[in-house]
Chain A
């Protein structure tokens, strides 16, 4: 294999090589520029931001960051986002793993319609469930409460993760279940102690997907969270750029604080996420 690789590299003419790298560099610039500009802007004081200069560094300062952290509710919103996303991830994985296992192992009446249901929910526009769920939560007094938002997120993450988890459980041989049963494990014991550990990569993808969905969700959070003590980051950020005044300094600094950890974690796990998303799809 390595010999083949070598040959292809040597066989590329210098002109082609240059063209290839120039294209990739141009694409990388387009892809990185908005983020890089965000970081640079967050280091500029307000008067520079509002002069539309194209300088990279002008009077660099951390003032925007100290203001975001000290004088806004940014940290509260970040904590809210973490609480909601973690709860969604944990509950979502529990529910979707058990559901995925059920549809992977048992053929029950209505099996096909369950699979279709799980798949079709992926097509649900936000508009379709948000009104009934909102009314339901309003009836239960859960508007502006974290549990209400978490349940709303579960309606969209659980079906998809269950569908994806089914793909993982399908790859675990049924003989393992049988071996567990022969050795005297209860059905739940088989699932919990034998099958789950084997499906760990799938669990990680499901947890990460649920976490990301909740972390970046805008529509439900905007409609459900009415007091600024309860905002998640997605809702809170819009407060900086309202109808009348726009605090671009605060917005950019807050965006950097959100994007950097998110991007770091994301780049570490994205390889698994892509395979997970397409694996569930092709194995269904």
Chain B
């Protein structure tokens, strides 16, 4: 009964994937791709070129630069997401006044659609009349050209992404914290464990089922984070903030559209992620975690 649906679903993903893989082995661009203009059907004239696209990518200096920045971006963002998220979750995981109010306020960045957030930050960080620079000037400092300086642009995209990514981690980890039985903490306290020992030996292992999943999800999402980079800095200035996915996208849809090159970039990125997930899974398994 449901077999047809599974087939449809697989076709929905499998066919484009296979076609992408095939395109990546050709020299297809906008110029030689078959198309229909009015009544005229122009056949495709692109040719099979084997692994040439991959060789080009892997030997290019762009690849190394983009990959380095993508890795830095992913690590910094995920570390800050998890670190701040865990900190906030632990602050919220206790009885206190205004707890639900804090919770709602802290979740707000996640509630705003990411593309809207990217625009908000573009305005906040605007060099001339952005409020961040206005505040810096108000206390007598010079404004910073946040989005036009390669270094500060990197800081800006990371700040924006951290801002919008922390709430998810916070909520997920808060759920994890609440599933740890209170008795464990109480027993440890009675036995004279220090707060650090309790954190290290109760909280961290207790969170593992949740944290192992969300860290992997977070890493993949950040690695593939498109809207923040694309809308906040457009990969600029001069490609300084361009990560692999935005670069591959630009290949396909800006200038002379390089479909085959972009498809090859896409597969290289996917390969990197699959390897990453595999290594991660193996690392979890070694710690006795059957995921």
Q: Which of A126, A216, A255 is B120 in contact with, Cβ under 8 Å?
A: A255
Is chain B's interface secondary structure helix, strand, loop, or mixed overall?
A: helix
Q: How far is the CB of A238 from chain B (nearest CB, A)?
A: 7
Find out whether the CB atom of B113 lies under 8 angstroms from the CB atom of A216.
yes
The interface residues of chain A lying within 8 Å CB-to-CB of B3 are 102, 108
Beyond A31-B163, A125-B245, A125-B269, whether A187 also contacts B10 by CB under 8 A is no
Bin chain B's interface residue count: 35 or more
Q: Is A182 an interface residue (CB 8 A)?
A: no
Q: Is B133 an interface residue (CB 8 A)?
A: yes
Q: How far is the CB of A65 from chain B (nearest CB, A)?
A: 16
Q: Is B45 an interface residue (CB 8 A)?
A: no
Interface residues of A in 211-251 (CB under 8 A from B): 212, 215-216, 218-219, 222-223, 233-234, 237-238, 241, 248, 251
Number of residues of chain A lying within 8 A (CB) of chain B: 97
Beyond A32-B105, A49-B129, A52-B133, whether A8 also contacts B95 by CB under 8 A is yes
The interface residues of chain B lying within 8 Å CB-to-CB of A278 are 172, 175, 210, 213-214
Interface residues of A in 30-53 (CB under 8 A from B): 30-32, 34-35, 37-38, 41, 49-53
Beyond A127-B248, A128-B17, whether A99 also contacts B277 by CB under 8 A is no
Find out whether the CB atom of B119 lies under 8 angstroms from the CB atom of A54.
no
The interface residues of chain A lying within 8 Å CB-to-CB of B94 are 8
Find out whether the CB atom of A270 lies under 8 angstroms from the CB atom of B88.
no
**Complex alpha-carbon distance, A102 and B177, angstroms:** 33
Find out whether the CB atom of B116 lies under 8 angstroms from the CB atom of A187.
no
- Please, which residue of chain A has its CB at the minimum distance from the CB of B160? A34
**Complex alpha-carbon distance, A34 and B135, angstroms:** 13
Q: How far is the CB of A212 from chain B (nearest CB, A)?
A: 8
**Complex alpha-carbon distance, A216 and B117, angstroms:** 11
**Complex alpha-carbon distance, A39 and B107, angstroms:** 17
The interface residues of chain A lying within 8 Å CB-to-CB of B214 are 278
- Please, which residue of chain A has its CB at the minimum distance from the CB of B8? A95
Q: How far is the CB of B82 from chain A (nearest CB, A)?
A: 14
Find out whether the CB atom of B10 lies under 8 angstroms from the CB atom of A114.
yes
Interface residues of B in 16-66 (CB under 8 A from A): 16-17, 19-20, 23, 33-36
Find out whether the CB atom of A37 lies under 8 angstroms from the CB atom of B124.
yes
Q: Is A151 an interface residue (CB 8 A)?
A: yes
